[in-house]
A and B are shown apart, each in its own frame.
Chain A
Amino acid sequence: MAMVSLHDVAFGYDERLVLRRISFDLEDGDFIGIVGPNASGKSTLIDLIDGILRPVSGDVLVNGVPTRKYRRRDMAKEVALVPQHFDLDFDLAVREVVEMGSYCRGKDVGSCGDAEQTLARLGVADLAGRRFSELSGGEKQLVVLAQALMQQAQVLLLDEPASALDVSHQLRLFDLLRQLNGDGLTVLCILHDLNLAIHYFDKLLVLSGGEVAAYGPPEEVLRPEIVEAVYGVRAYLHRHAGRTFLTFSPRLRGERLGRVHLVCGGGTGSGLMRELVDAGYDVSAGVLNALDTDEATGQELGLPMAVEAPFSPVGDEAHGENLALMRAADLVIVTAVPVSHGNARNIAAAVEAASTGTPVWAARGVLDGDFAGVTGELDPAGARYFAGDEEMLTALRERGAPAAAAPPAARTADPGA
């Protein structure tokens, strides 16, 4: 039997539902994180499990019994909660604060019911004699955790326990929680840091707008498209030194700045890709060889790309895809990529795009690395030249929306200058 089980639970204040259709089970020994944007109902969910709030519909069962049937003291023996905000303006000793946790146990203080021992278990035995009001934020957090452990409940719920902690205290806290979980405690923890969530938790529950958006192992649940749908930011999944982590950049909702196609390779386009994506442009690229640095960046950013096999010259199929991507673009940018026979068709494609009226901007450096003698065609086709990425980005900002795009004839730079 699941320790905690929610069946189609809904909860709301007055008319407005805060949680809807929540169903999930917490099994003995689980170590589960809850993530989700602010106001997605995370704290409400753990208050429901602790029986402090009652569901409007559906059932919240703790050990098979609906929470409404529990007396508070009996509930405290089953479920302990570490709150997000905790303050105590009174001058109590840490020992007294920790001992309050054993209230639900009454006189029958169990085997590990000693405040000193509980603090020692968390590695802070020296705090026992101090005054609670004199402690640092991190120390207070551990004392509150000790207080909750004094309840000797099987289930521990935590509401953003790490939000006030620096990075070393955060790691220490989650290591401790893992350790407590290893000792048999079932843990359900709200947290905001998705990378800590990936790193520490067995399973994650993603809440969004009061509903479960995803539930499962972190790497399945925190896929970029889910993060993007839930948080409304762009997320990029990286793998580094055997670990997976996410980075984020803001997404400008609603405003379409236009589509830029990059002709690049060998890392000459990676910087621009990120800058353009962050600035809110739709970006495509091609043709790139698989495993190329720019190709890897494009993969991370989830860009549409025309890709050729590693170390192979651009074939017909990839070239066709590339032309299609360019046709969809409002602007084609040629970076200072070295041009050889292998990728000469990309320049030809850019020239073709220019001839159909799509503006083509090129980094002047492309002329210097031309081993195929094809870049000369860019100038007559109407390409505009720039000294580097910065200059291009500045020009893009000035250019504004695609409607205000400069006509191909408006070239100002002279390749000979």
Chain B
Amino acid sequence: MTRLARTNPWSGIALAAGIFVTCLLLALAFGPASLSLGQIWRQATTGPAQGDLANAIFWQIRLPRVLLACLVGAELAVAGVILQDLFLNPLTDPYVTGVSSGAALGATVGIVLHLAQLPWITVLALIGGFVTVGVVWMAARRRGRIDVFVLLLAGVTISYLASAVVTVLMIRAGQDMHAIVYWLMGSFSGRGWTEVEIALIAVPFMIVPLFFAKEMDILLQGEKRALELGVEVERTKRVLLVTAGLLTAIAVSVCGIIGFVGLVVPHIVRLLVGPGHCRLLPVSLLVGASMLCVADLLSRTVIAPNEIPVGVVTTFVGAPLFVYLLRRGRKI
């Protein structure tokens, strides 16, 4: 599979797309009330209808939740690819930019202020994430250049700062503490079409990096070499860093902090299709969507009617897979 995926650029993408469709169907089919493929087809074609329980399960609960998981998985995976390759650091995940902590702070403020409707918490989280992108950006700007190393440090610093404020708020929160902890762990339960609509804002940002695939390839050789080969490095970094920040902020704002996807999906995909971005980006997008979609399926079915936090599932599924692939001895 690896060899095939490397020799023909489309075969890897086609394979990933096949896996994604399979995962999507599985996630739509299984749950407390299972649906057959035929039922899924019927519900999907008839559209939302009143008074039908199966229809309500499909349209009101399952479809938005599954779509949201797919979107968030794709967003985190694409952001992970961008940041790992701009920082040339394999340990980077979308959360090192501090965006997730900023978003968490926004959400925590929302919870403490009892803005009970979820959209408000989501919007505050989104604002928190965007503000963090801006602050980190200003910190890393020197004489018109973005220093990625400073950006990384600023991101980590802001991350700690925001976490400290969240901790203070949690101590003061009393009975809201449970809600905050639950939000921080990340979950898709109770999310609906509003969150899907917010997550859909990110779709254009998932496509932007595809236009920079060549530049990202060349940047693997370092910024100076990229300049020598004719890449407008600063402009490319600007676009990509903002893109990654927005993707992360949007993902975190709708479902909380879900770990491991943004870190591990780019690595897994790099091992399978190589580091070239015209394959790495679309395949990561599809694999990220598949992975989070399946992880959410497991989180709501394994110990039903209770849920395992989806971040725990991603780690349990992703870690062994990642270790297995690393053991096969390919370079990251």
Contact = CB atoms under 8 A, between A and B. Distances in A.
A83 B232 contact: no
Nearest to A102: B229
Contact of A76 (B228, B270, B274, B330): B228
Nearest to B330: A91
Nearest to A71: B232
A72 B230 contact: yes
B151 to A, nearest CB: 20
B220 interface: yes
A91 B274 contact: yes
Contact of A103 (B222, B231, B276, B332): B231
Contacts of B232: 71-73
Nearest to A76: B230
A76 B229 contact: yes
Contact of A101 (B229, B270, B331): B229
B275 to A, nearest CB: 4
A86 B231 contact: no
Nearest to A105: B230
Q: Which of B225, B228, B229 has the most CB of A within 10 A?
A: B228
Given A88-B221, A92-B220, A133 B228 contact: no
B230 A96 contact: no
Contacts of B91: none
Contacts of B276: 92, 96
A75 B228 CA distance: 8
Interface in A54-80: 71-77, 80
A104 B229 CA distance: 7
Interface in B208-254: 214-215, 217-218, 220-222, 224-225, 227-233
Interface in A69-128: 71-77, 80-81, 83, 86-93, 96, 100-101, 103-104
Contacts of B222: 87
Contact of B227 (A52, A133, A147): A52
Given A90-B275, A92-B274, A103-B214, A52 B330 contact: no
A147 B230 CA distance: 12
A211 interface: no
Interface in B261-303: 270, 274-276
A50 interface: yes
Contact of B229 (A74, A133, A151): A151
Nearest to A131: B331
A75 B220 contact: no
Given A52-B224, A83-B224, A103 B331 contact: no
Contact of A133 (B217, B221, B331): B331
A83 B232 CA distance: 18
Interface residues of B, number: 24
A83 B276 CA distance: 22
B331 A88 contact: no
Contacts of A90: 220, 270, 275, 331
Nearest to B235: A72
B219 to A, nearest CB: 10
Given A96-B276, A133-B331, A52 B230 contact: no
A73 B230 contact: yes
A151 B221 CA distance: 16
Interface string B35-57: 00000000000000000000000
Contacts of A88: 220-221
A104 to B, nearest CB: 3
A103 B221 contact: no
Contacts of A80: 228
A100 B229 contact: yes
Contacts of A89: 88, 331-332
A77 B230 contact: yes
A80 B229 CA distance: 7
Contacts of B217: 92, 96, 100
Given A71-B232, A73-B232, A133-B331, A100 B221 contact: yes
A151 B225 CA distance: 13
Contacts of B88: 89
Contacts of A101: 229
Q: Which of A72, A92, A101, A133 has the most CB of B within 10 A?
A: A72
B225 A103 contact: no
Q: Which of B220, B230, B331, B332 has the most CB of A within 10 A?
A: B230
Contacts of B218: 100, 103
Contacts of A77: 230
Nearest to A81: B228
Contacts of B214: 100, 103
A83 B225 contact: yes
Contacts of B220: 88, 90, 92
Given A72-B227, A72-B233, A89-B332, 17 more contacts: A50-B228, A52-B224, A52-B227, A73-B231, A73-B232, A75-B230, A76-B230, A87-B221, A87-B222, A89-B88, A91-B330, A92-B217, A92-B276, A93-B274, A100-B221, A103-B214, A151-B229
9 contacts: A52-B228, A71-B232, A80-B228, A90-B220, A91-B275, A100-B218, A100-B221, A103-B231, A104-B230
What are the 4 closest A-B residue pairs judged by CB atoms, nearest first?
A76-B230, A104-B230, A90-B275, A73-B230
